[in-house]
Amino acid sequence: MRCPAVLVAAPASGQGKTTVTAALARLHTRAGRRVRVFKCGPDFLDPFWHELASGAPVHQVDLWMTGEADIRQRLHQAATEADLILVEGVMGLYDGDPSAADLARLLGLPVLAVLDASAMAQTFGALAHGLRYFQAHSHGPLPWAGVLANRVASERHADMLRQATPEHEWLGALMRAPALALPERHLGLVAAQELPDALQRLDAAADALASTPLGQMGLADMVHAWGVEFSENFEPSRPLTPVHPALTAADLHDLKGRTVAVARDAACCFIYAANLDTLRALGADVVCFSPLADADLPPCDAVWLPGGYPELHAAALSANHALRDALRAHAAAGKPVWAECGGMMLLFDTLVDKAGTAHAMWGLLPGTVRMQARLAALGPQQLDWPGQGDGHTSALRGHTFHWSVADTPLTPVARTRRPGTAAQPVASGADGEALYQLGPVRASYFHAWFASSPATVAHLFRALPGKPTA
């Protein structure tokens, strides 16, 4: 098995690494090759573009949130099925602890550095050199594929950049072109499924990449140039389990016979593929519904309202009285509801959008949620959950990222905490997201990665589950 793989990184966000990753995936997929793309960090939006480009599911890989064993298993499985593996980094190459560079060193993933070359010339070479050799003395050499210049002004500009870069590291230049820019909004890229010309945008980027040395490399060229046998690098450190390392044999039937209805449309679209896999692995039947279009819930035992953009669809959500009433009846029957971030926002009495317009929402939770002009919270979080009488606590890992704030009379029943910090008192609010509970409804700004604690997820979606502690 010789499946080349590369980690696409950059000095910072906004350099173009998502466009390059998606373009490379699209280029090889069009050629009939099987491409699997993964995304470093907890991002929901970039994977929409990668899934469209590759035609395959995209999973997150994060050394803290998902863990090394899960990463190795997913990459190993992909390497048995695919011709090429692409991993998109997060933020800057060395940002965060652990960082994308840490992942590259751990798995031997060569780094393809994408640098926005706007307004620079020879300094491009210094920046590329620094990216490659930073931490080399303290952490060892970084596997390196080369450097690609982005947003280049002209052929003459490209020639200056090339001359500033060692010949064997130069992977080409992408010219500055509005057609190669992916649109953004306050939470990141606009989701690919919202744009009717999304595939045409990817084809344009793939066409531009095709003329570069990177775009002209075949799979054998990549294996030869990057010189790694990835089947060995991705070998799990322990025997593979049927789904993922966090599941035990006892977990596999915790939700057997139960149906979980998942909100899934433009308003509720922040869904990890691994979360759906975990629900199914726990034995649940998963059905989807649209908060924007459906008038009723599908027959179900529990509901999951994931994050998304309720603020962009507040008027339509407010007007869907039939589904609102169906969800109220579901909760009144004691059936669980788990709502994350945007999913929680539509449960409050009122949502005030960025324009200051107040919208009556579904009223399962008292209070008002209000959009603001700046980011309210960002970063990894974990929710500690008591065990089933064994005295142990399970940690459900995930992250927070939101621009709204909630004003509610509800007292939190728990708070999340940042990695490496002690649990905070429920009333403190220090660094942690509140978890609210009203009857069978539980809600938080916290986005959970279900595979980190399947037993906790089973609690969330069982009738009248135990209450978490701070």
Tokens standing for residue 8: 């696409």
Under 8 Å between Cβ of 25 and 214: no
- Of 236, 263, 310, 306, residue with least CA distance to 76: 236
Q: What is the C-alpha R_g of the chain?
A: 23
Q: Which residue has the tokens 């049927």?
A: 242
As a whole number of angstroms, the distance between CA 270 and CA 436 comes to: 20
Tokens standing for residue 181: 């820019």
Residues in the chain: 470
> Which strands sit side by side in the sheet containing 285-289, from one edge to the other?
285-289, 259-263, 302-305, 337-340, 441-444, 434-438, 414-415
Q: What does the angle CA 295 – CA 297 – CA 303 come to, to the nearest 5 degrees?
A: 140
| 341 flagged as catalytic | yes
Q: How far is CA 321 from the centre of its chain?
A: 31
φ, ψ of residue 447 to 5 degrees: the values are: -95, 120
For the chain, the distance separating the N- and C-terminal CA atoms, rounded to the nearest angstrom, is 47
Under 8 Å between Cβ of 90 and 102: no
As a whole number of angstroms, the distance between CA 69 and CA 236 comes to: 6
The residues that are catalytic are 341
